[in-house]
Structure 1
Amino acid sequence: MPATMKAAVIHAPGGPEVLKLEERPVPRPSAGEVLIRIEAFGLNRSELFTRQGLSPDVMFPRILGIEAVGVVEEAPGGEFAKGDVVATVMGGMGRSFDGGYAQYTVVPARQVQAFRTELPWETLGALPEMLQTAWGSLFRSLQLKPGDRLLIRGGTTSVGMAAAAIAKRHGAEVGATTRRADREQLLRDCGADRVFVDDGAIADRVRHEWNGGADKVLELVGTSSLRDSLRCTREPALVCMTGMVGNKWSIDDFSPMEWIPTAVGLTCYDGGVGDFMAMPMQQLVDDVAAGALHVQVGRVFKLDEIVEAHQAMEDNTAGGKIVVRTW
């Protein structure tokens, strides 16, 4: 094992160019921790917000990255064997301690899942946070059941496409939105039964075409479309606010009595380590390998292309999950 590693370090907030590739010492694990040789990681919008200085609790310099996949190099407590293929997410990664934008990372063993697969690293790098967010939103927050009508607002996001596939496998009837009509087949390939081209006001159309509306709505666009998403339902219903692709965090002049229809519940999902560890990682990886769970990898970058990767995320030009290879 080398004494040093490559890492993308941020010393102060700003644009993509503030991510600097540096040589750093390989971190050393203590009992209860795992040293992972990172093979790949996915990019997440929360990392974009942190890079922009919108995470006030994050101190710089910092190695960002809330997820990673790779192999175990050391586990002093014996929780894992050297060479185990593992994934890790959240738990302070890239925020309170250095995260996945590097060739090695040390994380608590309690936030690591091992699994077996022959999938390539480019695919595996897209999975942990995306699947954790989709799974937790559907089953913890929305309490999805077979036969439910699920509308995914922001269907062409990586989480949206994963959620469509998972929900379809679970027996739900899936509707998904896109702003571009030419993406309809992509959403249908992921499991959508219905596709709604989104002009920002689709509630009347959804209720008319879908016999009254959806039972559950997964809101991935954010506050800009939340009011309309609440109106896409038939009672009783649940709407889960999970994503903020629209980059707007708060609602101006929010009036609950005007916004929330009778008998429609509004919740959110902000998953953590417990949700990741409760997720059936092996089953989901097997579903991906079997072609039963569609994963849309957008673009794959190398670690020394991290600036370009962040620019692609900021510009929404990847067409799926952005993955970075570290070696």
Structure 2
Amino acid sequence: MMKAAVIHTPGGPENLLLEQRPIPTPANGEVLIRIHAFGLNRAEMYTRQGHSPGVLFPRILGIEAVGTIVSAPSGEFDPGTPVATVMGGMGRTFDGGYAEYTVVPARQVKVVPSSVVEKVGWKILGALPEMLQTAWGALFISLSVKGGETLLVRGGSSSVGLAAAAIARHHGMKVVSTTRSESRRDLLIASGAHDVLIDNGSIAEEARVRYPEGFDKVLELVGVTTLGDSLKTVKRGGVVCAAGIVGGKWVLEQFTPNELIPTGVYLTTYSSSVEAFMETPLDEIALLVAEGKLHIPIKSYRLDQIVEAHHEMDESTACAKMVVVLID
């Protein structure tokens, strides 16, 4: 048997119940992972609230996990191998990472060298997979960022926003991040932003005063509630990537492209995927974080604190990437 945080019906954080469940058995093409840590993501909050179509309950949530291989019936991995996994239906179509063990398809499992685990530790490693692949993928796949460019991170105090700012600055970009709260300015600066804009829902006018040429690239993490405003901050030939829904709204109503998108500005998206995760330089970034070369704040919890953690996620008070550590 194993401990798992199980949700039987959608609702508030208290609907997450710590239960004893049978350890799952992997089939051919699957692996059983003993989980050492897992990150918390807003996607899980939305599923918990009942906003993920097609999810059947009861369900063990969690779209990512790191740990060690217990068994792989088809022989893809040796027992004891450190690994990371994300997405692919975790926590939605099948039980995910909010547990001591999980079974996932072998195709979405990435080996982490033991030397990296020893240097980094499970807490840092557990915080990175989904956050990193979103930030990295949006920056380098969708936005094709380059050193010397200016980047606006809209929703900068989100975990992905903090990671994106740190990575972009490390790669030689000038980073401007937004936050709704003046009290978070120092956090954003410490995580990599050169400048901060206080976001009251409309920043385009102030951004154009301070950066009259406009930004080269914009990473839009708030979502459709601020997308139109973000598009106004970009220079001709610049790109906006819509990659988040921190604002809690999914659909852009009455979308008229030639009214929303300025002439010569490009709009794209980034959606997390197993394929993108497998290409993400997890080992390299984890070492940079452990060495203090990338500052990404991380806040850890125990499994029996999952309700408390979800309350903080609902209220957006953590100001860090949230991670549950089972075995350090």
Tell me the TM-score normalised to structure 1 length. Answer: 0.95
Please give the alpha-carbon distance, in whole angstroms, between the structure 1 residues aligned to 2:189 and 2:48. Answer: 34
Aligned to 1:316: 316
Q: Which of the numbers 35, 40, 43 marks the counterpart of 1:43?
A: 40
Please give the alpha-carbon distance, in whole angstroms, between the structure 2 residues aligned to 1:304 and 1:183. Answer: 28
Q: CA RMSD in A?
A: 1.4
Please tell me whether residue 290 in structure 1 is matched to residue 266 in structure 2.
no
SS at match of 1:275: helix
Please give the alpha-carbon distance, in whole angstroms, between the structure 2 residues aligned to 1:16 and 1:184. Answer: 29
Please tell me whether residue 280 in structure 1 is matched to residue 277 in structure 2.
no
Please give the alpha-carbon distance, in whole angstroms, between the structure 1 residues aligned to 2:269 and 2:183. Answer: 30
Aligned to 1:201: 202
| AA at the equivalent of 2:17 | K
SS at match of 1:237: strand
Q: Is the 8 A contact 1:43 1:324 kept in 2?
A: yes
SS at match of 1:164: helix
Deviations 1:89-118 (A, max 9, x none): 000101111100100001111111122223
Please give the alpha-carbon distance, in whole angstroms, between the structure 2 residues aligned to 1:188 and 1:17. Answer: 34
- Give unpaired runs (5+ residues) of structure 1: none
Please give the alpha-carbon distance, in whole angstroms, between the structure 2 residues aligned to 1:57 and 1:91. Answer: 14
Aligned to 1:113: 110
Q: Which of the numbers 11, 19, 22 marks the counterpart of 1:22?
A: 19
- Give unpaired runs (5+ residues) of structure 2: none
Aligned to 2:155: 154
Shift of 1:154: 0.8
Please tell me whether residue 231 in structure 1 is matched to residue 232 in structure 2.
yes
Paired residues for 1:104-253 under 5 Å: 104-115=101-112, 116-117=116-117, 118-253=119-254
| AA at the equivalent of 2:123 | E
Shift of 1:160: 0.6
Q: Is the 8 A contact 2:72 2:79 kept in 1?
A: yes
Q: Is the 8 A contact 1:40 1:69 kept in 2?
A: yes
Aligned to 1:264: 265
Q: Is the 8 A contact 2:223 2:245 kept in 1?
A: yes
| AA at the equivalent of 1:313 | M
| AA at the equivalent of 1:39 | H
Deviations 1:144-179 (A, max 9, x none): 122221100011111011101111122222111112
Aligned to 1:62: 59
Please give the alpha-carbon distance, in whole angstroms, between the structure 1 residues aligned to 2:29 and 2:20. Answer: 26
Q: Is the 8 A contact 1:113 1:281 kept in 2?
A: no
Please give the alpha-carbon distance, in whole angstroms, between the structure 2 residues aligned to 1:181 and 1:309. Answer: 23
SS at match of 2:50: coil
Please give the alpha-carbon distance, in whole angstroms, between the structure 1 residues aligned to 2:310 and 2:122. Answer: 19
Aligned to 2:89: 92
Tell me the TM-score normalised to structure 2 length. Answer: 0.95
| AA at the equivalent of 1:244 | I
SS at match of 1:77: coil
Please tell me whether residue 301 in structure 1 is matched to residue 328 in structure 2.
no
Deviations 1:250-280 (A, max 9, x none): 2233322221111111111111100000111
Please give the alpha-carbon distance, in whole angstroms, between the structure 1 residues aligned to 2:70 and 2:212. Answer: 54
Shift of 1:77: 2.6
Q: Is the 8 A contact 2:4 2:60 kept in 1?
A: yes
Shift of 1:5: 0.2
Shift of 1:81: 2.3
Please tell me whether residue 53 in structure 1 is matched to residue 50 in structure 2.
yes
Q: Is the 8 A contact 2:6 2:58 kept in 1?
A: yes
